[in-house]
Chains A and B, each alone.
Chain A
């Protein structure tokens, strides 16, 4: 088992599994967020559930944070090791002739998403912790939608969200499909269906988040 943790193949598995876990989380996050557009009461109700359910707060949330940390730390470690594997760079390297920019620059798109997560955590998670544990405000199941809308009044913040989700889409475009290859899935190579499905998801979910941000920006009063 120790070899599984130390080997380069095990590191691929860790990246793939933590990435797939985050893909599932992102899907769930999107499903809740889209209700802020199509069913505001449902959004408040689900947000309140997520904010106060002990299983979500004390089991799911730490697992999510753990998954995020593992994915980012492993990504940075892998990038460091990969740079070490080629200490002298080529004078001329035609990367575009054999691979996509996105696949070669996962660390860049990943670090932008990490920076965005900092802003996102400050916007919502820190705010939520302050409301619940510092100010100890009474439970209010109607506060979530107004709080969300308030965040999307500032055009600069909306712009940051849009750019970040475009970069997230690029990250997912390679990462989601790639995770199946890392886990040795035959389907990735034997058929295009899974590949196309991952590409579609990688565009549609971030586009959905961008739509939600823009919708609240343009509809705020």
Chain B
């Protein structure tokens, strides 16, 4: 498979970036997208050029590191898939593939395709936890009865890997889907009730401080989310927030 890659190159956070075109040959359909990037980088190294920096870790679709905007879609054209699980069979011989980093003020570019997503960490630190004493007398969570539907939904919300595809896909660079998934996974469980008010208030405040855009309900985040996190979470967060603001 012969490809033409158009890749965002940026030497550092303050450097001016630009799209650079690379021809690439010998790509097999069974390769993953990241393996294709590895081959490109080997070629670049052999030619004495600086390889393209990109984030990756598990290459199993669970760490949320391999963030690339591929042909205008986060993680590429295959739904419910991270970039590392995307295979080159999704592309055709002769294709031109445009690869860019996530674009958001809250995700500044560190180098090439790597962005700083620590804003997500700070949102989580603001309230996405349950304070539990570890004295040895802590009640076993499994001994608390929870409706199966609620438990399932909480677990589904918890599958968010924080990759940032929701922000990348949103025309407003909004982080509502991510934040709401983290709010929901606790809001649905009795263990999360005690800190519910502070949690939603603090997390939304932090989300706003980080400079993410406003949600306008386009639904792009849900469509592009590799884990299928649903818009219901955003509606739930809106309810939680109103409840916290009005009832305390």
Question: Could you list which residues of chain A lie within 8 angstroms of chain B, going by C-beta atoms?
Answer: 1, 3-4, 6-13, 78, 81-82, 84-95, 97-100, 103-104, 106, 174, 178, 181-186, 188-190
Contacts and interface: CB of A to CB of B under 8 A. Distances in A.
B69 to A, nearest CB: 6
A138 B20 CA distance: 74
B216 to A, nearest CB: 6
Interface of B: 6, 8, 19, 69, 71-73, 77, 98, 100, 103-106, 169, 171-174, 176, 201, 204-205, 207-208, 211-220, 223-224, 230-232, 234-242, 245
Interface majority SS (helix, strand, loop, mixed), chain B: mixed
B238 A82 contact: no
Contacts of A185: 235
Contact of B208 (A8, A86, A94, A183): A8
A85 B238 contact: no
18 contacts: A1-B245, A7-B208, A8-B174, A8-B176, A9-B242, A82-B213, A82-B216, A91-B98, A92-B72, A93-B72, A95-B72, A181-B234, A182-B217, A184-B235, A184-B236, A184-B238, A188-B235, A189-B230
Contact of B223 (A84, A92, A98): A98
10 shortest interchain CB distances as A-B pairs: A85-B213, A94-B72, A184-B239, A184-B238, A82-B172, A98-B223, A99-B218, A92-B72, A178-B217, A98-B220
Given A8-B204, A8-B207, A97 B72 contact: yes
A95 B103 CA distance: 14
Contacts of A174: 217
B213 A86 contact: yes
Contact of A94 (B71, B215, B234, B242): B71
B238 A89 contact: no
Most chain B CB within a 10 A radius of its CB, from A89, A94, A98: A98
Contacts of B98: 91-92
Given A3-B245, A91-B19, A99-B220, A82 B239 contact: no
B238 A183 contact: yes
Nearest to B171: A104
Contacts of A106: 216
